[in-house]
Amino acid sequence: MGNEAAVIPQESFAQRLLTGSVKKSYEPAVDMDWDAPLDPDKLFLPPEVISLYGTELWESMSHPERRELSRQELANVLSVGIWFENLLTRLLLRELLRDDPTTRHSHYTLTEMGDECRHMMMFGKLIDRIEARPYWPRLPGRLAIGALALFLRGSMTWVGALVGEEIFDALQRRTLDDPQLQPLVSRAMRIHVTEEARHIGFARDALARRVPTMSRAELAYTRLCVAVAAPLFVYLMTNRHMYERAGLDGRKARRIATNNPYAKQALGTGAANLGAFLDKHGLIGPIGKRIWRWRGLYS
């Protein structure tokens, strides 16, 4: 989609996304069977995307312990998704202040914001349905998330959108048809994948159009933010509190997960297309590549 979008005028591309939204969008409140019982044996994430998969610690765990870890990891992933989509919605709202409200580009921005609001509700309902607690940031975390809106401007609005959307999107695509997975989780991920594909195309198109107009300072700043995004993403995905709620030593489990080659491979698979896109447009410099490789996000 990225290559095709580069040669289509911005308004035509936005109109295509609007048309796609009309043809295929969801309302999670009615498009999911929230009263369906949970399977007492099935996992909440596929084994191969669970952070401890393949480690000695994982092999020592019983099925009920693995199931509980999968439940806590899903709750953490959904919580991070809510934080991110909250931030992204604020960034998109700021973009609208500079855009012409009569354009198709502005209209799709509003459409995406509506999607993100429904996704936040869906994630919140799913955390509640699996009888988990959200992993909500404490005051320092809330202040940091709020401060990001001050730094993510211009090209970084779209880089931030892609880092948050593409890696998560690639991982969740692996959950769609896994027979070991709770059907309710599969349904939520299918809804999110469908609508997120349009969001990713929108962000890629906007970023690709901006790159040729970047100053050296903006390019350097963008590369710096891209480099920082990798360790931040891994940090959020290996929240030590989720291990503690699963009955494990949180610090030890997080250290094992961070160095787990299977987890790095899963993250690398998820980040491969994004890394290639950023590299193609010169947005991931030598330092960024080293950091992404260190965290398993770049090959």
Q: What CATH number should be reported for the domain holding residue 212?
A: 1.10.620.20
Is residue 253 included in any domain, yes or no? no
* Residues 52, 242 contacting (CB under 8 angstroms): no
Is residue 98 included in any domain, yes or no? yes
Is residue 263 included in any domain, yes or no? no
Q: What pLDDT, on a 0 to 100 scale, did the predictor assign at position 295?
A: 84
Total domain count for the chain? 1
Question: Which one-letter DSSP state was computed for residue 180?
Answer: T
Domain that holds residue 79: 2-218
Q: What pLDDT, on a 0 to 100 scale, did the predictor assign at position 232?
A: 82
Q: What angle do CA 203, 209, 215 make, to 5 degrees?
A: 110
Is residue 273 included in any domain, yes or no? no
* Residues 18, 201 contacting (CB under 8 angstroms): no
C-alpha separations of 277 from 12, 205, 293 in Å? 22, 11, 16
Q: What pLDDT, on a 0 to 100 scale, did the predictor assign at position 8?
A: 57
Tokens 């107009």 belong to residue: 213
* Residues 134, 127 contacting (CB under 8 angstroms): yes
Tens-digit pLDDT string for the chain (299 aa): 444 444 458 899 999 999 999 999 999 999 999 999 999 999 999 998 899 999 999 999 999 999 999 999 999 999 999 999 999 999 999 999 989 999 999 999 999 999 999 999 999 999 999 999 999 887 877 787 777 778 888 888 898 889 888 888 877 887 777 888 999 999 999 999 999 999 999 999 999 999 999 999 999 999 998 998 877 878 888 999 999 999 999 999 999 999 999 988 888 888 888 999 999 999 999 999 999 998 888 87
Is residue 153 included in any domain, yes or no? yes
Is residue 199 included in any domain, yes or no? yes
Is residue 49 included in any domain, yes or no? yes
Q: What pLDDT, on a 0 to 100 scale, did the predictor assign at position 233?
A: 79
Is residue 291 included in any domain, yes or no? no
